[in-house]
Structure 1
Amino acid sequence: MAFQDLLDQVGGMGRLQIIQMAFLLLCNALAAPHIMLENFTAVILGHRCWVHILDNDTVSDNATGTLSHNTLLRISIPLDSNLRPEKCRRFIHPQWQLLHQNRTFSNMSEPDTEPCMDGWVYDRSSFLSTTVTEWDLVCESQSLNSVSKFFFMAGMLMGSIVCGYLTDRFGRRLLLTWSLFQLAVAETCAALAPTFLVYCSLRLLAGMSTTTILTNTVLLIVEWTTPKYQAMGATMAILFCNLGQSTIAGLAYGIRNWHTLQLVVSIPIFFLFIFSRFAIALPTFGLFLHLQHLGTNVFLVQILLGAVSIPSNYVSIWTLNHKGRRISLFFFMSMMGIYFLVITFVPEEMQTMRIILTTLGGGLSFASVSCSVTFSNELLPTVIRATGLGIIGVCTNLGAALAPLLMILETYAAPIPWVIYGASCILAGLTVFLLPETRNQPLPDSLQDIKNEGKVSREVKQEELSIKETQF
């Protein structure tokens, strides 16, 4: 039986397709703005040469103390053909004679000028900073501003070339997950790039990821729907790309610093891993790898975490057996998320409270991992269990690698990494309810077993409902 025929039998647009489409459309909405990002992060601001007597606040000269800013500008910067200050040249020496507007100096030669030897002064009325002001991409270096855009587009070209092969070789979902990870890391690091070359290299990687994401989302939407809904799905994918690109203008209007804008459009992509099983490793390793941020006595905290692992695993066993897999995982993940949000606001002076909370957070983390491992093994049928666990392991390692990178955001605001860890836990806990309950159920041996189990489950529910109605 062909896959499309199977879709026709089970329903062309069921709950699975709707949830998957919503996630893929969100991917498009978050990835597409990176194509237009440099319209706002790489704006060339108005600029002129830096001049000692005009821009050095420590200069105290009686001869210039009573002169206005415009007057000092007139004797320091030559005018261009439009009678506006030159952007790339300045007078070698102040031209005091230009202050005498009513006198002529017919025997004087043209004043000597020179390039901007000491940097530039930028008009920051529209943007506080851009990549242009970051690396002075003006005058002789202005062409480099186009180079960074070329790198991104070259990345999209490279992604288009290899995307098809890699997608067919390793699968749509795995490549989509990797591309989301690559885009999030590359664009977040681009905001912190120390040099222009590093920035261009990161934008190249971002371009490769963007085109792969946009291609795979359309593929997954079309392949998982019947012909009746395929045109609608593809159109919706394009629509959400356009909506995502429209939001960048609103964000840029409110955020005039290119570092902040770059982070704002990049960090939300990390949350997409919540739906692709990034969800437990990220906060867990965020906690375990940064104990020094949570308490001064790292030795004591490490010992307490080891001690709390025994009771936490016992509690997880009890909840798994008596409350079910979904409720257990939701509870521990949500509580761990609350822990991260609470510890953020506990002052560093309250070391005892921070150590207690960290110990509880570690216990919740151990319990979450135990529940996750149990649940994952029970969800996967025997024929693909090893492969499935291997893919989950890859996702886990990606989450673990991402955890320390988020701590870079502490340079902007100390609570940001911990808030991200906490929010990811809570959102991940909610997504658990999209999965079937496996408590006291036999392990599935094949994909057909999963299908039959769902059918039997629905029949049992209908039978129970019928009995209740008959008794009533």
Structure 2
Amino acid sequence: MAFSELLDRGGSRGRFQVPQMVALVVPITWLAPQNVLENFSAAAPSHRCWVPLLDNSMAQASVPRALDPQALLAVSIPPGPSRGPHQCRRFRHPQWQLLDPNATATNWSEADTEPCVDSWVCDRSAFTSTIVTKWDLVCDAQALRPMAQSIYLAGNPVGAAVWSQVSDRFGRRRVLTWIHLRVAMAATAAAFTPTFSMYCLFRFLTAFTVVGTTLNTFILLVTLNSLGYTFGRVLLAAVAYGVLQQLAVSVPCFLCFVYSWWLAESARWLLIMGRLERGLRELQKVATISGKRAVGDALTIEVLCSAKQEELSVSQTPGSLVALLHTPGLGLWTCFALGFTFYGLILDLQALGSNIFLLQALIVVPDIPPKVGTLLLLGHLGRRPTQAVILVLAGLCILANVLVPHGDPRRAGARGVGVAFTCFAIYTAEVFPTGAVGVASPGALCQMATQAGAILGPLVRLLRIYGDSLPLLVCGVVPVRSGLAALLVLPETQNLPLPNTIQ
């Protein structure tokens, strides 16, 4: 008897699975904010150079007559490109002539200015503290912001390669438990780290462990994972607005660690590892809770031995990571395009408007109905056309933002890419062979391809020095190309049996 038949007879969809699935979705909801945390923890508030006349009380006392802060600002900071105070330069000496009502705004030369040599003064009305204000990641150091985001995302492919192997060796439940503890510890340490380099290290370790949760819940929660991430980003907007502390999204992971000891181990993994007695107990527990005690009592070690032999015959089918990578139609380019475009947009909320708390909600909340609708479209239109249409439409929305810079197309594009993630999560589970394990598993390969694109996503913003619209052009062309390629390369998997081999 095949293992899938054992699960169906014991209750594959019953009272046992519901609390298990809820217990697995809750950590995803709290871990999802880690992926976009830098929208808030690395937000760049308005800033200007530190100048004595404004920020040193003794220097202010030496001013011959009482002047309001606006007047002191005018003689200390030159105007910037947006006509407001320049964020990266200051006058070498106060330009008192600018207070003359007959003086013009250009009554000074570039030689009278210098870069900020002391420090910066930031507007703390929206954010009391970010890594930008803590380590002055502005002006010449502003490239370190997307660098920190890319370093975090670099932890995902490394974690995907490691945790896929560890889970196959030690079991899903045990690995999930320790992943929750490691995420909580690394995320908490990042909030207290004294240096930028240590912050990047702990953020890398956070991503390294966060991806382990996704991998270990990929097959069971293939449709709920995406919604869990969506609700998690909504939660981040509320927490960031109300608490303004990075610890607010890391401490709950300790609670997930505590209750994860209650989760059941994968019975399939127990069988393959030869732990038949524990596997029998797990299956009998499933049957009992699902109201099928008689089926559970009928299970024996001999029945499990038969199921084990059938599982091993499938898992030992010849195949390797190299063979998978050279197999056309597995959609790794689509994974790369999704990660590149999504994180290139979603980690740059400040470019979309001033109120990033509201923007976070506006991008994520309208994302929920399309994701649910996509699950219905997949059953009617098929996997390949749905995936292609969503990607092309998302890319066109992003490209439209070049022509409508103050409209909503970019937000619609980000939502479209998020919906494409939902579609491709189901597609991936159906196109990869079930016998692939470890690094060659569908979750691991797609995570590595997605995060390879995600690493480059934040860095595309550096192209703004060559043109404000260039990052949008790149982020728009990539999903359009991927969507068109999906029609030509990706196979249709609707109503087809899951493949057991690469062939």
Question: Shorter-chain TM-score: what band?
Answer: 0.5 to 0.7
- Call closer, same or farther: CA 1:447–1:131 in 2, change over 3 Å: closer
> Which residue in 2 is equivalent to 1:124?
124
Whether 1:250 and 2:250 are equivalent positions in the alignment is no
State the Cα deviation string for residues 303-323 of structure 1 (Å, max 9, x = none). xxxxxxxxxxxxxxxxxxxxx
- Call closer, same or farther: CA 1:104–1:72 in 2, change over 3 Å: closer
Corresponding residue SS for 2:101? coil
State the Cα deviation string for residues 440-469 of structure 1 (Å, max 9, x = none). xxxx976657877997x968xxxxxxxxxx
Distance 1:181 1:91 in 2: 51
Distance 1:236 1:106 in 2: 59
Q: Given residue 158 of structure 2, which amino acid in structure 1 is its aligned partner?
A: M
Q: Given residue 269 of structure 1, which amino acid in structure 2 is its aligned partner?
A: C
Deviates more, 1:266-275 or 1:169-178: 169-178
Corresponding residue SS for 1:32? helix
The percentage of aligned residue pairs carrying the same residue is 41
From 250, 258, 261, give the equivalent of 1:274: 258
- Call closer, same or farther: CA 1:54–1:64 in 2, change over 3 Å: farther
Shift in Å at residue 270 of structure 1?
A: 0.4
> Which residue in 2 is equivalent to 1:331?
none
> Which residue in 2 is equivalent to 1:467?
none
> Which residue in 2 is equivalent to 1:264?
248
User: Is contact 1:92–1:114 with CA below 8 Å preserved after alignment?
Assistant: yes
User: Is contact 1:95–1:111 with CA below 8 Å preserved after alignment?
Assistant: no
User: Is contact 1:28–1:217 with CA below 8 Å preserved after alignment?
Assistant: no
Q: Given residue 126 of structure 2, which amino acid in structure 1 is its aligned partner?
A: S
Shift in Å at residue 111 of structure 1?
A: 5.0
> Which residue in 2 is equivalent to 1:16?
16
Deviates more, 1:167-176 or 1:43-52: 167-176
Shift in Å at residue 178 of structure 1?
A: 2.3
State the Cα deviation string for residues 2-50 of structure 1 (Å, max 9, x = none). 3211111111223322221111111211111111111111111111000
Q: Where does 1:148-163 land on structure 2 (aligned, <5 Å)?
A: 148-163=148-163
Distance 1:104 1:448 in 2: 86
Q: Where does 1:353-392 land on structure 2 (aligned, <5 Å)?
A: none
Please, what is the CA RMSD of the aligned residues?
3.3
Asked which structure has the greater CA Rg, the reply is 1
Q: Where does 1:35-434 land on structure 2 (aligned, <5 Å)?
A: 35-61=35-61, 63-102=63-102, 111-219=111-219, 221=220, 233-256=221-244, 260=245, 262-277=246-261
Gaps of 5+ in 2: 264-269, 295-503
User: Is contact 2:178–2:257 with CA below 8 Å preserved after alignment?
Assistant: no
Alignment length, in residue pairs? 283
Shift in Å at residue 167 of structure 1?
A: 2.2
Shift in Å at residue 163 of structure 1?
A: 3.1
- Call closer, same or farther: CA 1:448–1:104 in 2, change over 3 Å: closer
Higher RCO by CA contacts (8 Å cutoff, separation 6 or greater) = 2
User: Is contact 1:163–1:212 with CA below 8 Å preserved after alignment?
Assistant: yes
Q: Given residue 215 of structure 2, which amino acid in structure 1 is its aligned partner?
A: T
User: Is contact 1:91–1:114 with CA below 8 Å preserved after alignment?
Assistant: yes
Gaps of 5+ in 1: 222-232, 280-382, 389-443, 460-472
TM (norm. structure 2) is 0.51
Shift in Å at residue 101 of structure 1?
A: 2.9
User: Is contact 2:30–2:232 with CA below 8 Å preserved after alignment?
Assistant: yes
Shift in Å at residue 237 of structure 1?
A: 2.2
- Call closer, same or farther: CA 1:252–1:447 in 2, change over 3 Å: closer
> Which residue in 1 is equivalent to 2:463?
none
Q: Given residue 249 of structure 1, which amino acid in structure 2 is its aligned partner?
A: A
Corresponding residue SS for 1:86? coil
State the Cα deviation string for residues 424-452 of structure 1 (Å, max 9, x = none). xxxxxxxxxxxxxxxxxxxx976657877
